[in-house]
Amino acid sequence: MSNRMWGGRFASGPAEIMEEINASIGFDKRLAPQDIRGSLAHVAMLGAQGILPADDVAAIQDGLKAVHSEIEAGTFVFRRELEDIHMSVESRLTEIVGPSAGRLHTARSRNDQVATDMKLWVRDTLDNLDAQAAGLQQALAEKALAHAGTVMPGFTHLQSAQPVTFGHHCLAYVEMLARDRGRFRDARARLNECPLGAAALAGTSFPIDRHATAAALGFDRPTANSLDSVADRDFALESLSAASICAIHLSRFAEELVVWTSAQFDFVRLSDGYTTGSSIMPQKRNPDAAELVRAKSGRIVGALMGLLTVMKGLPLAYSKDMQEDKEGTFDALQALSLCLAAMTGMVRDLEPNAGVLARAAGSGYSTATDLADWLVRELGLPFRQAHHVTGRLVGVASGKGVGLEALSLPEMQEAEPRITQAVYAVLGVENSVASRVSFGGTAPANVRAQAEGWLARLAEPVA
């Protein structure tokens, strides 16, 4: 007997191992809502164009809605022998409405169908990720506003560099997430062209209205080239690229939380809600949520690398290799969604240890640059000379095991005779951060203004 999916060209069904490697229903069943949306738009267009009679259109529409209800209710049976979500829906539709269900596939192919389904799913997911990233921005901006004046050490090379504020540090991630959201929106804008109607690769001889189906599905326009329509997975690659960059940002923050919550740093504390214990060491409080956010970045970047490798050698148009776009994309974007949710929870949960942060902010001669700036500003020294004088004073203080503020005025004047008592005003960390008033600087007034500005922007309705 002929194969029930592929028709008379095949006299028998696939070998067991062929069925195993070929079937995608185990993962592409999550495309069911998008597949039914696309089919409803397609059949409505076929009716409007006079390609299908009204009775068949109505029956197919009612049947598709019934299938959708079964899927939502969890009563739909997905069968691997039907290979993918498209054939699964069509098979059940045939059981419900009879032979007229076979007319649904007029003027389309699974090639343009799956491209449309994937674009719809990715588009929906990008919208959700954008909203989640905005939620994390809000949590960070609120924390920044609350701690605009909480002094902490700023690092380069993970060595104490200059004092900053905890709020300023939080706002750095708000800026990163703003760029991430811009990339999500850019990817969404570029993918918003509808492949439906490109058919297998060459278009169709039926008088279809691709602009109508594109509009019905919320796309800006139909794709312009039928070959590109079914061969393109740029939209998945670009979305995975944006997701990977966002995941790296989250991973960097997660790494900081892992370090900061250690007993050696004790910069911040996380509650029991975002930490776990040890099966053998009763004193442990492990930042597992942060560690898992850090680790999942590898899965997300790996999905991007995997799909790039799949696509790199494919001739036009469609090849079965492209079935491998789904699992990695689904997994990566779902993982990013989980990471954004976990990080938002941790940001809202964490409490900075202000006393420890303040003490650490003054360590490592973090106000040395303030001293050099004072020498330039007050004594007119060229910066390179001021840098040299400051370096000598840091050496003296280090040799004595004290901070710069503990050096006596005569000791200061041995390095530069014109130094006066006024220099001590710039050596405190509070004075240091307050002086950083340049745009984007860490001065508490700047941080408050930036945090308030972000909160106002985030409260505005999404365009």
Residue 325, φ and ψ in degrees, nearest 5:
-75, -25
Return the H-helix or E-strand segment holding 155: strand 151-156
Is residue 261 packed enough to be buried (19+ CB in 10 Å), middle (13-18) or exposed (0-12)? buried
Q: How far is C-alpha 23 from the chain's CA centre?
A: 29
Considering 157, 279, 408, 438, which one is annotated as catalytic? 157
Region for residue 447 given its phi and psi (left: phi exceeds 0; alpha: psi -120 to 50; beta: otherwise) = alpha
Contact 215, 42 (CB under 8 A): no
Helix, strand, coil distribution of the chain in percent, nearest 5: 65, 5, 25
Q: CA-to-CA distance for 160 and 367, rounded, in angstroms?
A: 10
Contact 247, 297 (CB under 8 A): yes
Over the range 45-64, which residues count as b (16 or more CB within 10 Å of their CB) and which as e?
bbbeeebbeeebbebbbebb
CA atoms lying within 13 Å on the CB side of residue 73? 9
Q: Is 226 a catalytic residue?
A: no
Considering 2, 262, 278, 319, which one is annotated as catalytic? 278
* Nearest partner of 166 among 145, 186, 185, judged by Cα: 145
Q: What is the 3-state secondary structure (H, E, C) of 61-91?
A: HHHHHHHHHHHHHCCCCCCHHHCCHHHHHHH
What is the chain's length?
463
Q: CA-to-CA distance for 162 and 433, rounded, in angstroms?
A: 9
Q: CA-to-CA distance for 141 and 174, rounded, in angstroms?
A: 7
Contact 291, 251 (CB under 8 A): no
Q: Is 229 a catalytic residue?
A: no
What residues are annotated to the active site?
Answer: 157, 278
